[in-house]
Amino acid sequence: VEEPVEVMDREVKRLKQSRIPIIKVRWNSSRGPEFTWEREDQFRKKYP
């Protein structure tokens, strides 16, 4: 089971009209990537 270990970094991506907060998450995963960038709003819904 993949679970987030910690939030490593936080950024705001700027598009033409909007800003998207993203976070770099470290996972305790054996087969997947160790770090991924996730949208902060969607990540908070999944892992409150």
23-46: pLDDT as tens digits: 999 999 888 889 999 999 999 999
Query: What pLDDT does residue 2 have?
Result: 80
Six-digit token pair at 34? 């160790």
- 48 pLDDT tier (thresholds 50, 70, 90): confident
Q: H or E segment at 46?
A: helix 40-46
Q: Are 25 and 8 in contact (CB under 8 A)?
A: yes
What percent of the chain lies above the pLDDT cut of 70? 98
Domain-by-domain residue ranges, the chain?
4-46
The pTM (predicted TM-score) of the whole model is 0.77
